Structure 1
Amino acid sequence: MRAALYRRPGPANEVLEVLDLETPEPGPEEVRVRITVSGINPTDWKTRAGTNRRRPDGFQIPHHDGAGVVDAVGPGVIGLAVGQRVWTYLAAYHNRWGTAAEYAVLPASRVVPLPDEASDELGACLGVPALTAAHCLGGSFKSLEGRTVLVAGGAGAVGHFAIELATFAGAAVVTTVSSEEKAELARAAGADHVLRYDEPDVAQRIGDLVGGVDRVVEVAPGANMELDLAVLNQGGTISTYAAEPELVLAGGPLMSGNVRLEFVLLYGVSAHELAAAVGWTADALAAGALSALPIAAYPLERVAAAQEHVEQGFVGKVVVRP
């Protein structure tokens, strides 16, 4: 098979190479997926660049997310069959066979059926961003009905799915964005109210529109904490999925508001919580409630350029087509 891989951390155009490898075989409770679309997330390029402590064991085929067709199943696999369309998540976590290849082998628990109505592009958009969004929203759609959610950065990948999942759950959604282009994307995702965060009196405008919010899905806690606390209802939750080197917190307002502050990294989410996020995402997908982000597609041979496009902050989803 053709595959992209790196043997050491470093810049994309220095360490990523595309070559032929022997096609791997699935082991017990594993499946092999013929990849049609491989989705790239910030965590993929950050891991390749060496911003965390994970290092390749010999080599690493990158990318967690993807869509394709089950090509082979190992012993003990239940609920998946050869020929079935699927989407993947966390494919490259503690596993060298990520989705930036013609075939990926991964645990069957990280492979989810893809409905006939859903495109491969949409399937490759899910994974890390949709599951992060679901977990930041509380992991269960039942807890959101009739609630109000503020999504910071509603045009980003996590923000996009947070809007759609919260709307599917029956919540009212307010989102903040930085440009009119991003505002259009947030409206298309179904946000009830879209505001520019750089305009004056944003907190007052949110208050006038919805009174207050019960949960915040936050991409920039340092920059937005004052706004979040100003609009959050008593006992509300701020759930952030962004890593910041330093975060100074206002202890008084947090305590007086009985605020719950959550930090979310998908790698550390428990199996039970992850399964809940997968179930919510799959239900929304089956109901036609999720949509693909704007796509920038690259061939596998240009995987380095594709990862660099994500590094540069592309608004949408960069994918590779093996």
Structure 2
Amino acid sequence: MTKIVQFDQVGGAEVLTLRDIEVGEPGPGELRIRVDAIGLNRGEIMYREGAYLYRPVFPSTLGYEAAGAVEAIGEGVTGFAVGDLVGVVPAFLQTDYGTYGDHVILPAAAVVPRPASIGPVTAAAVWMAYLTAYGALVENGQVRPGDFVLITAASSSVGVAAIQTVRHLGAVAIATTRSAAKRQALLEAGADHVIVTDTEDLLSRVEQITGGQGVRLAFDPVAGPGVETLADAIAPGGSLVVYGALDPRPAPLPRARSFPALSTSTYTLFEVTTDPERLRRGVAFVNAGLSGGTLAPVVDRTFDLADIAEAHRYMESNAQIGKIVVTVAHDGREEPAS
């Protein structure tokens, strides 16, 4: 038997239930993983609420990220051995698989090797955030040294990963946050500049920082009517990349009837994780940054699996800077916190 988090209806964190179920054996193309740590993501909250890209099928599990070790190998799977340390990347639908449990079955295509030097908590904090930033900024955005990049809602795990990715590329990271209390933490995470939008005018600060030229790319998870303001901060020929919808209001197409030219696009992580060649490049990029120290996940707080509802509520409070991770104990032993 294994402990799995499931829910039977959409709603608040209280719908999450920790259940004992039979995990079974992996099928063709699958692995069974002993989970040591789970990374939480905003999309999982939206999925639980029924506001995500697709609707849950009940009873539903959830979760995109984890770190642990291979326990069993399904037919046709190569490149893994029992006991291998691994991480899980978001490359599946939560209606089919989930990572919220102490032993889970996952598609082998969503599992990547984890160096022994990277602990489970750190590994669980990596892939959603850093592959999201990689795909949007490196492959699609083609950010170059010296570019100005605006990162909104920058205290999220993806925001912190984007800051570090921009700095890794030799570009200039301009982070935004609504809270002045988060300014110093964002600077410590690597931001070159921080704009507190509750007290500072975004456009005036961007003009000041960039010498009037505007940013080459804005990376935004909020959407809504605010994209029009972001568009005014972007240099002619620059790009607005929207990768979320934290503001549920309709988002206009900025500059649709005016100049200068602006490239506007939406982006999802699955563009990278479902393409084996792009995923290979992304994993290599992130691992190189982790090894070199230019990419370093920030873990705000950890929770026990039994406290999964509390962990979701904490994420909903927007108090965190970086990643929230859930740890999983096995046989009374808890994995290291790094």
| TM-score class, shorter | 0.7 to 0.9
1:219-238 correspondence to structure 2 within 5 Å: 219-222=221-224, 224-238=226-240
Match of 2:56 in 1: 55
Q: How many aligned residue pairs are there?
A: 319
Equivalent position SS for 1:261: strand
Q: TM-score with structure 2 length normalisation?
A: 0.84
Match of 2:10 in 1: 9
One-letter code aligned to 1:262: S
Q: TM-score with structure 1 length normalisation?
A: 0.87
One-letter code aligned to 1:319: V
How far apart are the structure 2 equivalents of 1:19 and 1:222?
38
**1:184/1:85 CA distance change after superposition, 3 Å:** farther
Query: Quick check: 60-69 or 140-149, which moved more?
Result: 140-149
**CA deviation profile, 1:74-115 (whole Å, cap 9, x unmatched):** 233233332222221226625544211111211122112223
Aligned with 2:217 (options 215, 218, 242):
215
Aligned with 1:242 (options 234, 240, 244):
244
Match of 2:327 in 1: 321
**1:170/1:117 CA distance change after superposition, 3 Å:** farther
1:187-206 correspondence to structure 2 within 5 Å: 187-206=187-206
- Tell me, yes or no, if the aligned pair for 2:216 and 2:239 is still in contact at 8 Å: yes
How far apart are the structure 2 equivalents of 1:250 and 1:92?
32
Query: Quick check: 241-250 or 104-113, which moved more?
Result: 241-250
**CA deviation profile, 1:165-221 (whole Å, cap 9, x unmatched):** 111122121112222331122112211122222344543333333333211111334
**1:6/1:181 CA distance change after superposition, 3 Å:** same
Equivalent position SS for 2:139: coil
How far apart are the structure 1 equivalents of 2:227 and 2:284?
30
Unaligned runs of 5+ in 2: 329-338
**CA deviation profile, 1:34-65 (whole Å, cap 9, x unmatched):** 11111211211221222244222x53222111
Does residue 305 in structure 1 map to residue 306 in structure 2? no
**1:208/1:309 CA distance change after superposition, 3 Å:** closer
State the percentage of identical aligned residues: 28
Equivalent position SS for 2:131: helix
How far apart are the structure 2 equivalents of 1:205 and 1:81?
53
Query: Quick check: 85-94 or 16-25, which moved more?
Result: 85-94
Match of 1:84 in 2: 84
**1:200/1:42 CA distance change after superposition, 3 Å:** closer
**1:28/1:95 CA distance change after superposition, 3 Å:** farther
- Tell me, yes or no, if the aligned pair for 1:91 and 1:110 is still in contact at 8 Å: yes
Match of 2:259 in 1: 256
Q: CA deviation at 1:305?
A: 2.1
Match of 1:30 in 2: 30
Match of 1:161 in 2: 161
How far apart are the structure 2 equivalents of 1:261 and 1:95?
30
Structure number with the higher helix fraction is 1
Query: Quick check: 164-173 or 218-227, which moved more?
Result: 218-227
Q: CA deviation at 1:141?
A: 8.7
Q: CA deviation at 1:138?
A: 4.1
How far apart are the structure 2 equivalents of 1:250 and 1:263?
13
**1:205/1:6 CA distance change after superposition, 3 Å:** closer
Does residue 290 in structure 1 map to residue 295 in structure 2? yes
**CA deviation profile, 1:94-139 (whole Å, cap 9, x unmatched):** 5544211111211122112223332322211223332222222142
How far apart are the structure 2 equivalents of 1:182 and 1:200?
14
How far apart are the structure 2 equivalents of 1:200 and 1:301?
41
How far apart are the structure 1 equivalents of 2:162 and 2:101?
29
1:67-146 correspondence to structure 2 within 5 Å: 67-90=67-90, 93-94=93-94, 96-139=96-139, 143-146=143-146
- Tell me, yes or no, if the aligned pair for 1:115 and 1:285 is still in contact at 8 Å: no
- Tell me, yes or no, if the aligned pair for 1:139 and 1:280 is still in contact at 8 Å: no
Match of 1:182 in 2: 182
Q: CA deviation at 1:146?
A: 3.3
How far apart are the structure 2 equivalents of 1:112 and 1:141?
25
- Tell me, yes or no, if the aligned pair for 1:154 and 1:182 is still in contact at 8 Å: no
How far apart are the structure 2 equivalents of 1:140 and 1:221?
19
**1:28/1:283 CA distance change after superposition, 3 Å:** farther
**CA deviation profile, 1:238-261 (whole Å, cap 9, x unmatched):** 1112223312344357x5222111
